[in-house]
Amino acid sequence: MKTRTRFAPSPTGFMHIGNLRTAIFEYLVAKHEGGDFLLRVEDTDQARKVEGAIDFIYKTLELCNIKIDEGPNNEGECGPYIQSERIDIYKEYADKLVEMGHAYPCFCSEETLEAMRKKADEKHVPFMYDGRCSHLSKDEIKRRIDAGEKYVIRQKMPKDGVSVVKDVVYGNVKVENSVLEDQILLKSDGYPTYNYANVIDDHLMGITHVIRGNEYLSQTPKYNLLYEAFGWEAPVYIHVPMVLGEDGNKLSKRNGDASFMDLYEEGYLPEAIVNYLVLLGWSPDTNQEIWTMDELIAKFDMNRISKSPSSYDIKKLRWFNAKYIRNLSDEDYLKFIRPFFTLDVSSKEEEWVNKLLLTYKDHISYGKEINDIVSIFFNDDIKISKENKEFLESDELIPVVIKTFHDELEKLPSWDIESIAEVINIVKEKTGAKGKLLYMPIRIKVSGVEHGPELPDELYLIGRENVLNRLK
């Protein structure tokens, strides 16, 4: 049987990092086996639907080099691929479940349910619907439906025994049937619930492997009971551990955590984001850290997904992103960085601007960072920290280095990188200074900071007049 996986996001805004990682895993599982990757939009919660969110989903997957084999924008034989367009299908299968005795109409009002919740709170026990409507006769059900009473369709759960879920990551997981509530399948407005629609769609679309967050593991016995009721084969389950934020909580759009588009607009390369995310919860059998998509497809083994939650670390992501930025060709780098570079260069030559940006190619970790790093070239008010001032006063050779360098620069007939480098060598010979005592005093006096790109490049970009003035 051909492997088929699906990514089924809700169109509620930008795709957050945890959700994207799940999509990456789903894609890699399918492509490693030469299978299909489907996109299905779960928009049955119409109240939370955000206009344009489906386009964000397409854009994110496209940027991440995740190709959709079937979906709303690439219809196959299993459509429609948007759940709100499949309402009649869900109604048909819910009616079958009622006929088979695996589901029943529930007429309980919100007031009745709220009274049940209140009693549960008073007893300090979790609320669980007591199944009272499951005992209604067929005649009573027909009478109430004919009278126009609102109702939902609930799944009838077994009340004793144990359900066992077989999962690739967590092995065999046992759940007592007594804790399984008679969940709602169809709401009173005819829309399905998430748990129900997923099962119907996964079966009808031929999904062989279901990858999702481990928070759904405890719900999976309910899915399996639906598969059993219809006589369908359940898919392979792969429940992946959560991605936690730096505060230790699960990453979530509702908590304001970064989405993929947030990172993209800050200047993080999609390839770097994918590379970083795939290693959150999955480990290869080598120490390799930088992976292309083709390499991941060839190597991905779902049995190496970890059980433990992973921590999202922006510093580690920046490390990956910096690696990818450095690997860009100069031409591609300039195309990448220019949209993020917002400082006023109207008085500068294009050659100078390109030289500036390329000089700092190895010093940035994301696009927007370029503006802070190169601000010294656009600000005459250089601030020197207390620590750097103390360094400048720490050795009697330092003032000699600075003055000698100033005097030698004044003699230069032309202002170019090679000539500046030669002056540094002359200062080294004349003063005997080397290493830290040679380079750091000059850099601090001219830029205010102790680290940066190659010193001749930095001085060339600052300009002769500025350099000489700052050395004074």
The whole-angstrom separation of Cα 466 and Cα 446 is 8
Find out whether 128 and 120 touch, Cβ atoms under 8 Å.
Answer: yes
Which of 212-226, 378-392, 411-425 comes out lowest in average pLDDT? 378-392
Catalytic residue flag (residue 253)? yes
**Secondary structure (H, E, C), 275-287:** HHHHCCCECCCCC
Residue 148: partners with Cβ closer than 8 Å, 6 or more residues away: none
For range 408-425, the mean pLDDT? 94
Check whether 256 has a pLDDT greater than 70.
no
The whole-angstrom separation of Cα 33 and Cα 53 is 30
| C-alpha 435, offset from chain centre | 42
Residue 19: partners with Cβ closer than 8 Å, 6 or more residues away: 9
The single-letter code of the amino acid at 374 is: V
- Give 1's pLDDT tier (boundaries 50, 70, 90): confident
- Give 376's pLDDT tier (boundaries 50, 70, 90): confident
SS3 call for 171: strand
What are the structural domain ranges in the chain? 4-83+243-311, 86-240, 328-377, 386-471
Place of tokens 């009478």: 143
For residue 165, report the phi and psi dihedrals to the nearest 5 degrees.
-105, 125
Pairing between strand 310-311 and 243-244?
parallel
Sign of the torsion angle spanned by Cα atoms 410, 412, 416, 419: negative
Q: Which of 217, 241, 213 is nearest to 165 (CA)?
A: 217
- Give 252's pLDDT tier (boundaries 50, 70, 90): low
For range 215-230, the mean pLDDT? 95
CATH topology of domain 386-471: Arc Repressor Mutant, subunit A (1.10.10)
What pLDDT score does 253 carry? 60
The whole-angstrom separation of Cα 372 and Cα 353 is 15
Check whether 162 has a pLDDT greater than 80.
yes
Check whether 51 has a pLDDT greater than 90.
no
- Give 255's pLDDT tier (boundaries 50, 70, 90): low
Place of tokens 């720490």: 394
For residue 358, report the phi and psi dihedrals to the nearest 5 degrees.
-70, -35
For range 267-275, the mean pLDDT? 98
- Give 277's pLDDT tier (boundaries 50, 70, 90): very high
Pairing between strand 36-39 and 4-7?
parallel
Q: What DSSP string runs through 316-361?
A: HHHHHHHHHHHTS-HHHHHHHHGGG--S--TTS-HHHHHHHHHHTG
What pLDDT score does 111 carry? 94
Count how many residues are written for the chain.
472
For residue 182 the two structure tokens come to 């008679």
What pLDDT score does 44 carry? 82
Q: Answer yes or no: same fold for 86-240 and 386-471.
A: no
Q: What is the pLDDT of residues 306-328, one digit of tens each?
A: 999 999 999 999 999 999 999 99
Whole-model pTM: value is 0.90
For range 173-190, the mean pLDDT? 94
Q: What is the pLDDT of residues 105-126, one digit of tens each?
A: 999 999 999 999 999 999 999 9
Catalytic residue among 59, 253, 299, 430: 253
User: What number does CATH give the domain 86-240?
Assistant: 3.40.50.620
For range 144-168, the mean pLDDT? 95
Find out whether 97 and 153 touch, Cβ atoms under 8 Å.
Answer: yes
The whole-angstrom separation of Cα 352 and Cα 349 is 5
DSSP E strands in 366-434: the ranges are none
- Contacts of 225-231 with CB under 8 Å at 24 or more apart are 225/102, 225/155, 225/157, 225/158, 225/163, 225/180, 226/97, 226/102, 226/155, 226/196, 226/199, 227/199, 227/203, 229/97, 229/100, 229/102, 230/93, 230/96, 230/97, 230/203
Averaged pLDDT score across all residues of the chain = 93
User: What number does CATH give the domain 4-83+243-311?
Assistant: 3.40.50.620
Higher pLDDT, 235 or 123: 235
SS3 call for 97: helix
